[in-house]
Amino acid sequence: MCTALTSCSTSEPEGGLPPDYVSRLWVEREVMVRTLDRMLVENDPEEVVANISGGRDRLLDSRVLQETDDGYVVELDKEVWRTEEVDGLARVDDALIDAMESNEVTWCDEAVSGEEFVDAYMDEFWDTLDTNEEYTASITDYVDCGDGHP
């Protein structure tokens, strides 16, 4: 039975994933992080952070969200994040999802939940670009109310 199951599973290419591989989780995380960053600029940062009830501490502990003398900022450099402080990147993703569900994107045409905003990007752009750089440019444009096309 084990042989039958392993013969049906898909395996990674030899040597791991190709260097230009872009994961869906990475793209979704990038949209959420950049949207949260913009939420803090466009909306009342104290209110945005207060709305992140369940995930606020995880975002702060992981250093994704940082409190400064001037309020709150989002750390866009993932090398600075401390995901081990919150039991891994999946917990950070859960906290970002919480942030998107509990806050609105108010700076584009009409106010929508952060979750709807992220979902709309993913529905239109997932698997249409080839590199992290192309996705970063597209996401940046989208969060700035552009059409997301690089």
- pLDDT of res. 53: 87
The DSSP result for the chain, as a single string, is -HHHHHHHS--PPTTSS-TT---HHHHHHHHHHHHHHHHHHHS-HHHHHHH-TTTHHHHHHTTSEEEETTEEEE---TTT--GGGGTSHHHHHHHHHHHHHTSEE-SSSS-EEHHHHHHHHHHHHTTS--SHHHHHHHHHHHHTTS----
The 10s digit of each residue's pLDDT in 28-43 is 999 999 999 999 999 9
- pLDDT of res. 15: 54
Q: Would the pTM count as exceeding 0.95? A: no
Q: Which residue has the higher pLDDT, 17 or 147?
A: 147
Nearest to 38 by CA among 112, 145, 143, 150: 143
Confidence of residue 101 (pLDDT cuts 50, 70, 90): very high
Q: Which of 17-26, 40-49, 55-64, 109-118 has the lowest mean pLDDT?
A: 17-26
The 10s digit of each residue's pLDDT in 106-116 is 999 899 999 99
